[in-house]
Amino acid sequence: MECRGVSHWFGAKRVLHDINLKVQRGQFLSLVGPSGCGKSTLLRAVVGTHLPLEGEILLHREGTQREAEPVAGPGRDRGIVYQHYSLFPFLNAQENVAIGLMLDQTSIPFRFFNFLKWRRIRKQHLELAAEFLTKVKLQDAMRLYPHEMSGGMRQRVAIAQALIMKPEIILLDEPFGALDEATREELQTMLLKLYAENLQAKKRGETPAYTLVIVTHELNEAIYVGDRLVGLSQYWDWKSEGQPEFPGATIVYDKPSQVFEPKDSKDFQQFAIQRDEVRHAVFNPDVRQDRSEYVTYWSSAANAS
């Protein structure tokens, strides 16, 4: 996924300015920023529900010779997990996970006219959904409706619902924002397990299965879960770029972040250096540095290899 020169504004209010961001397959990217910096606007642009007014978002499809396609609207190649309303209230957990397969692979006329065939396919879908629910440790809650589940369970189902589609990229919009600390940690560990699967796949020489962009306001979570930390902020030195007035928030921080194993203890000491740096560069209104100062992800990646 690549954002090229993405800008957005609402009337006179400038929100995003010239966002350039490349996400590679297999990355777990955490997006942080002060409130009001346009994280959600950027995410909506990537989902395709609210397209940016300038610039474009491109999807490079792995393993195909096709040209990168610009995003024109929401589609099955980008999954989304919202903080609220993450599940269809009229379907139980298993049906919620299976509905993507149904919507994607079959159509209303097919389900109506080929009823018997559809019933066979449906059975396979439900079996696959059960597998994914087992993956997120919900094998005992398959028949529960969303209102019968706790917040943590709902988010697990929502993640399984996105995973089963095997999209190019999954976007999580403050997914654990409404959860208590213990549940949140559990789910973070679950994401780390997915990342570990990615690493194993890479080791075997396969393309990693999951690409995640996690929008969060919790800095520790961002560092813990992601392997790359991107900061979006309105506090940057736009005057030195010759802008007469504030052009909108942009990316002011982009560095790798420490990779944790699922069983590693979450030692806040390890985060401290990066956390302070991000606080300084992204969240502090008084520090207005050049926007490229902390954007070193690709150069450090090049150095590493």
Partner 1 sequence: MIRRPINSSTAVILGILSLAVLLGSYTWMAHRQHLTNPDDTTIPTWTQIKKGVGDAFKPDDWNNESWIASDAKATGARFFLGLAVGVMGAFGIGMLMGCFTPVEAFCYPPLSLLAKIPPTGALGVFFVLVGMDTSMFVTMIAFGILPTLALTIFLAVKEFPEELQFKAYTLGASHSEVVWTVIFRFVLPKLLDAVRLVIGPALVYLIAAEMVVGDVGFGYRIRLQSKLLDMSVVYPYLAILAAFGFTMDFGLRRLRRKLCPWFEKHQG
Which residue ranges make up the site for partner 1 (CB under 8 A)?
A: 47-49, 73-76, 78-80, 82, 84-86, 88-92, 99-100, 102-105, 107-108, 145-148, 161-162, 165, 167
Closest approach, Cβ 91 to partner 1, in A, equals 8
Which one, 59 or 278, has the nearer CB to partner 1? 59
Where does residue 82 rank: exposed (0-12), middle (13-18), buried (19+ CB within 10 A)? middle
Structure tokens at 222: 């961002």
Structural Rg of the chain based on CA atoms = 20
Which one, 169 or 194, has the nearer CB to partner 1? 169
Closest approach, Cβ 34 to partner 1, in A, equals 24
Give 148's Cβ-side CA count (13 Å radius). 10
Which one, 108 or 302, has the nearer CB to partner 1? 108
Which one, 49 or 243, has the nearer CB to partner 1? 49
Contacts of 90 (CB under 8 A, 6+ apart): 145
Q: In what order do the strands lie in the sheet with 54-59?
A: 13-22, 2-10, 54-59, 69-70
Which one, 85 or 268, has the nearer CB to partner 1? 85
Pairing of strands 228-233, 212-215: unpaired
Write out the E strands in the chain: 2-10, 13-22, 28-32, 54-59, 69-70, 78-81, 169-173, 212-215, 228-233, 250-256, 294-295
Which one, 10 or 112, has the nearer CB to partner 1? 112
Closest approach, Cβ 145 to partner 1, in A, equals 5
Give me the phi and psi of 41, to 5 degrees please.
Answer: -60, -45
Closest approach, Cβ 163 to partner 1, in A, equals 12
Closest approach, Cβ 86 to partner 1, in A, equals 8
Closest approach, Cβ 87 to partner 1, in A, equals 8
